[in-house]
A and B are shown apart, each in its own frame.
Chain A
Amino acid sequence: MATYDFLFDNLGLRAWCDAGKTGDGPLSMADLLAKANGPKEASIWDLPFPSLDALNDACGRVAQSRDLTKGVENAFLAVKNPLQFVLDPITQPLSWILEFALYTFDVTPWWLMFPILMLVVFLASRSFRMVGLVVACLGFLALIDHYDYAMQTLAIIFVCAFLCVLMGVPIGIAMSRSNTLQRLTIPVLDMLQTLPAFVYLIPLIFLFSVTEPKLYGIAIILYAIVPVIRLTDLGIRLVDEEVIEASDSFGMTDRQKLFGVQIPLALPNIMAGVNQTIMMSLAMVVIASLVSAPGLGVLVLRGIRNLELGVGLVSGLGIVLLAIILDRVTKAALNRINAAQKN
């Protein structure tokens, strides 16, 4: 006898329940345990919450909770093929770009890569100290034979962060111009930001082949694009109203205003967003090693899987060094912009 039998009896639904009974489905673990322990004495302390499973015990017509997960799964599998048909060709370029970047970083010899990176760092930060820091960190990684892994990680971050900025800034601009769009976009951004990183991977694994780079590319971009969108929107909305009024009063077109006033004045905020985006791609690229993303994350994963403590910790240190480099360089670039725009 189930706890909630009385409910259906009193409502006069007993016949309906029994008529719909299609025999007991597969037993759950809890059912088996209950059977093994024999019937228990009913007590108010053991009153179960009228959940789907408890109600199902009383009336076979009520769905079980596992039907929900089953339903979600079926629904996803039902839309999977059409979704794949659309998404696969659209996202294919991402695979190509990632493969190309990984290949380029791989074939470029270290004695060419170092000067190139030094030049990039100098152009961004205009600081020799920063160049020194980058050389020291990368030099150390190369010394302990982590250079190739670090370059793979860096290649993935470059591609993903670049794509994030490429897509995020226009989205942010559109949001700043339309309150409706902002209202609609913010819940999506909130969801992307709060969804645990692993959860991204689950539907993606079903949609794309695990061996394809675009799988982790998409996961990283979805995770890391949020700050650049948010801060672009915020930055443009924060531009001094009097300056906007002045731009209008001189007869600027919307285009002149956007590129001549709003984006330049929002640049400190946008750069802060880019910094966050890069840091978040780095965080995700480690997790993405679960779905075949190459780089330092693979070593971390090896450390966990094989309990190779040293391998895991050293590669973790490598990730920290990369994080420091990326953070300091983007912050130096940001400070340079801030200094130029002091009010």
Chain B
Amino acid sequence: MLHRKIKAGSALTNSVKISIRDLYKVFGADPQTALEHVLNGASKADLLEQYSHVLGLSDINVDMRESEITVIMGLSGSGKSTLIRHLNRLIEPTQGRIEVDGDNVLAYDEAQLRTMRREVMSMVFQKFALLPHRTVAENAGTTLKVRGVAQREYLLEAHKWLSRVGLEGFDKHYPHQLSGGMQQRVGIARALTSNAPIMLMDEAFSALDPLIRTDMQDLLLELQTELQKTIVFITHDLDEALKLADHLVILKDGQIIQQGEPQHILLNPNDTYIEDFVSDINRARVLRVRSIMTTLDGTNAPSNAHGEVDFDDTLESLISTSGGDTSHTYLVMRDGAPVGTLDMKNLVKALVPRAASEAGARKY
């Protein structure tokens, strides 16, 4: 969990790497005309029914910060895959602005776009998208090969990254000889070999079975601690989103319904759709002490505390420390200094989703 601490400390200082402004995407024969209808207030359903155009994305504004994992979450059809493909222009927007390091990506000509895809962004795919006729090392080196790097060099670089993702000794194998999890490791090694600062991951772990998926999430977090890439991660799995996200964007029907720090979204869902979403997860495992503590605000640390807990501990670990006693109060420490207090009663309240308590109130 080292990664989390770095993040919490540096979140305020990270500059915006990718900025998306007023992005719209309409699919159909005449998107520009259809877009006019959308701007005049037509809904997705109206657009489909009256003008037979599909509204893919509507009014998207996101800032993705450097060295952070931005997770875009939504169910199928929410437009999340469409959104990530706009970043490297595999899909062209109907209207809007996309800036990478302050540069307008949409103004790039073909050569500039190619350079950006080669050197600035690399992508990991849901179904791996490896080349079946090339060895694992050749696959991992593809991103360098397209730039014209000599074979000996790119194989060496590929070997380095393959070892880094735990595939030492598989260089000469073919993709079909590997399991799904291993194939996706090759996919990640391929993206890392390009040494691009931005990594786009399109449902990268969705095709893997649950245990392997957890392994891969841990691998990603571990790599991120070291490499500090700007990662855009697409998923439909809330647990995965909460585990990985520094910044969480929730999409529904092509619109952003809430974005922000995942803990914040979990505690303050602003939409019934999100409440439904978050009501099923294990809050004790996801929520952290820092999200529910009372800050000290210059007052002295209270003397009646039953012990000290870390700023970044999960509630689950705190419950096990306290032995379940709700009368305890703990002092929250960060880097050795007290920053707040936590009453166990507040912890218990935080475990109940807001939607559930309201539903309960109505029932009795």
Contact = CB atoms under 8 A, between A and B. Distances in A.
A253 interface: yes
B115 A251 contact: yes
A248 B117 contact: yes
B150 to A, nearest CB: 15
Contacts of B142: 250
A108 to B, nearest CB: 35
A93 to B, nearest CB: 34
Contact of B146 (A245, A251, A264): A251
B334 interface: no
A304 B226 CA distance: 82
Interface string B174-197: 111000000000000000001000
Interface residues of A, number: 21
B187 to A, nearest CB: 9
Nearest to A243: B129
14 contacts: A242-B127, A246-B125, A246-B129, A250-B122, A250-B123, A251-B117, A260-B131, A264-B131, A264-B133, A267-B133, A340-B133, A340-B174, A342-B132, A343-B176
Contacts of A253: 114, 146
A160 to B, nearest CB: 29
Among A246, A250, A261, A342, residue most surrounded by chain B Cβ atoms (within 10 Å): A250
Contacts of B121: 249
Interface in B115-153: 115-119, 121-123, 125-127, 129-133, 142-143, 146-147
Interface of B: 88, 90, 113-119, 121-123, 125-127, 129-133, 142-143, 146-147, 174-176, 194, 200
Nearest to B91: A245
A239 to B, nearest CB: 10
B133 A245 contact: no
A141 B109 CA distance: 63
B131 A243 contact: yes
B151 to A, nearest CB: 13
A253 B148 CA distance: 11
A211 interface: no
A264 B122 CA distance: 23
Contacts of B143: 250
A91 B17 CA distance: 61
A246 B176 contact: no
Among A248, A251, A342, A343, residue most surrounded by chain B Cβ atoms (within 10 Å): A251
Contacts of B88: 249
A342 B176 contact: yes
Contacts of B130: 243
A341 interface: yes
A260 B174 CA distance: 16
A256 interface: yes
A269 to B, nearest CB: 13
A179 to B, nearest CB: 16
A120 interface: no
B226 to A, nearest CB: 23
Given A250-B194, A252-B146, A256-B146, A265 B117 contact: no
A240 interface: yes
B116 to A, nearest CB: 8
Contact of A242 (B114, B117, B129, B200): B129
A240 B117 contact: no
